[in-house]
Amino acid sequence: MGLADLTSMNDLVSLCKQRGFIFQSSEIYGGFGGCWDFGPLGVELKLNVKNSWWKAMTFREDVVGVDASILMHPTVWKASGHVDGFSDPLVDCKSCKERFRTDQINLSAPCPKCGAKGQFTESRDFNLMFKTQVGPVENTASIAYLRPETAQGIFVNFLNVQSSMRKKLPFGIAQIGKAFRNEITPGNFIFRTREFEQMEMQYFIKPGEQKEAMEMWKTARWNWHLENGLRGEKLRWAPHPPDKLAHYADAAVDIEYEFPIGWGEMEGIHSRTDFDLKAHQQFSGKNQQYVDQVDGNKKYIPYVIETSVGCDRHILALLCDAYRVENAGNPETERTVLMLRPSIAPIKVAMMPLMKKAELEDVAQKLFQDIQKKYRAEYDTAGSIGKRYRRQDEIGTPYCVTVDYDSLKDQAVTVRDRDSMTQERVGMDKLVQYLQDHLKL
Ligand code: ATP
């Protein structure tokens, strides 16, 4: 009995497609670069992740939520530095016209695509924001951008939230939403996409308190990844060296996960100083100061600690981490299992009558209706019981319940545990309670 980890991203991509987690966007048209669609199981998984983040971040006294619009006043992106600075340096191969990130290519080597030598253009900066037009007239005044991060929707609402919710420092504002970046090299499945979701929180503090607040959030965020099921040995801290800090930060650290493609950033925790609020005060002409009633009505612009995690990247880490092949190479017993935590698994319980017979289905349907009142469940009658178990293993369903002919006599069902594959006989009247005790949701 051995459990092997995921080694190739392709295996995960194909399971996700086959089992209804994630599809290529616009697949029937050949796909659309850097965009993916979440299928019926993917959307459940994503909701579970978002709920777990929302709960961890906002079920506390000092954090509230917002849901800001994706399109914002274009000056927001001037103030934030994105119009002038959110770019990657690029070169084109003069021969095949392929475009590369200057920092990812050896300029004195031949083109990796066509092999031509010494053919690269001068390096140019390429802005990663998607531009669009708002309103019926196309002119420079109608330019808008799809937000490249959700954070700015929080900064511009700082005073609205603070005053309407009567918040005193320190307090945070959390948000989950789409962000868009015209990435030059999207890839590695949903690791780097052009449209993705961020879960961000800005924690507003008194200047000088950033070290303490940063430590508090570092601990909280690390623990969240563990609580969702990621293995500790697959996580590590990656502090940004002082000379690599973003223009707005005085300290920053990433939480990285060891994907099959290597270590990659999953979440950033940044000490952003008063950069953003100060910039918005300057560009909007609106005072962004906070009046500190606890400290003699002193006025100042708060400092900010930000936590920023990609929902899709965290999902990729969860899927990579949960994917196991048991007894690889043994055709009789080999199985692929997604060992997701019950809180994250898209389907919690599968109900399967042993055969498609009315007397079994009547009982199974009734139990299914009871289970569904509490948990996302699936009713499955297609194929042999072994095949049905394999499918549920592959989608990470923690418990399968079978109704067989004995059930009609003893009023009990068989409950199978996904990870140990042990089976237990449970009385029908105790089934929901049994699931509740074991799922612990
Ligand atoms: P990277 O260095 O990978 O481009 P970044 O440092 O630009 O990321 P941030 O701007 O700090 O990333 O964004 C916060 C989080 O948003 C990242 O940790 C990541 O989880 C997620 N994220 C950023 N860009 C993408 C993308 N193109 N696709 C999916 N998730 C992304």
Sign of CA dihedral 191, 193, 197, 200: positive
**150 in ligand 1 pocket by Cβ < 6 Å?**
no
- Which residue lies with its CA nearest to atom 12 of ligand 1? 268
Dump pLDDT digits (tens) for 405-440.
999 999 999 999 999 999 999 999 999 999 999 999
CATH ID of 3-72+150-319, from 3.30.420.40, 3.30.930.10, 3.40.50.620, 2.10.109.10: 3.30.930.10
Compute the distance from residue 181 Cα to the ligand 1 centre, in Å: 9
pLDDT recorded at residue 134: 92
Q: Which ligand 1 atom is at minimum distance from the Cα of 190?
A: 29
pLDDT recorded at residue 281: 98
Compute the distance from residue 316 Cα to the ligand 1 centre, in Å: 13
Compute the distance from residue 197 Cα to the ligand 1 centre, in Å: 10
Compute the distance from residue 433 Cα to the ligand 1 centre, in Å: 42
User: Mean pLDDT throughout 350-367?
Assistant: 97
pLDDT recorded at residue 271: 97
pLDDT recorded at residue 137: 82
pLDDT recorded at residue 45: 98
Question: Could you write out the DSSP letters of every residue in 331-390?
Answer: TTT-EEEE---TTT-S-SEEEEESSS-HHHHHHHHHHHHHHHTTS-EEE--SS-HHHHHH
Residue 226 has pLDDT above 90, yes or no: yes
Read off φ and ψ for residue 432, nearest 5 degrees.
-60, -40
User: Mean pLDDT throughout 222-228?
Assistant: 98
Site to substitute for ligand 1 among 146, 200, 265, 269, most atoms within 8 A of C-beta: 265
Q: Which ligand 1 atom is at minimum distance from the Cα of 148?
A: 10
pLDDT recorded at residue 312: 98
Q: Which residues contact 356 (CB under 8 A, 6 or more apart)?
A: 381
pLDDT recorded at residue 239: 97
Site to substitute for ligand 1 among 185, 224, 308, most atoms within 8 A of C-beta: 308
Residue 302 has pLDDT above 80, yes or no: yes
Question: How confident is the prediction for the chain on average, in pLDDT?
Answer: 95
180 neighbors 130 (Cβ within 8 angstroms): yes
User: What are the residue ranges spanned by the domains of the chain?
Assistant: 3-72+150-319, 347-439
Domain 347-439 has CATH 2.40.170.20: no
pLDDT category at 246 given cuts 50, 70, 90 is confident
**270 in ligand 1 pocket by Cβ < 6 Å?**
no
Say what the pTM is: 0.94
**312 in ligand 1 pocket by Cβ < 6 Å?**
yes
pLDDT recorded at residue 100: 87
pLDDT recorded at residue 1: 58
Q: Which ligand 1 atom is at minimum distance from the Cα of 267?
A: 18
Dump pLDDT digits (tens) for 141-189.
789 999 999 999 999 999 999 999 999 999 999 999 999 999 988 999 9
**Cβ neighbours, 10 Å, residue 197:** 21
Higher pLDDT, 195 or 329: 195
User: Mean pLDDT throughout 370-380?
Assistant: 97
CA–CA dist 261, 352 (Å, integer): 37
Dump pLDDT digits (tens) for 258-291.
999 999 999 999 999 999 999 999 999 999 999 9
pLDDT recorded at residue 8: 95
**393 in ligand 1 pocket by Cβ < 6 Å?**
no
Dump pLDDT digits (tens) for 92-108.
888 888 888 888 888 89
Q: Which ligand 1 atom is at minimum distance from the Cα of 264?
A: 3
**The dihedral formed by the CA atoms of 358, 360, 361 and 367, expressed in degrees to the nearest 10:** 150
pLDDT category at 22 given cuts 50, 70, 90 is very high
Question: Percent of the chain having pLDDT more than 90?
Answer: 85
307 neighbors 200 (Cβ within 8 angstroms): yes
CA–CA dist 146, 198 (Å, integer): 14
- Which residue lies with its CA nearest to atom 11 of ligand 1? 268
Dump pLDDT digits (tens) for 323-356.
999 999 998 899 999 999 999 999 999 999 999 9
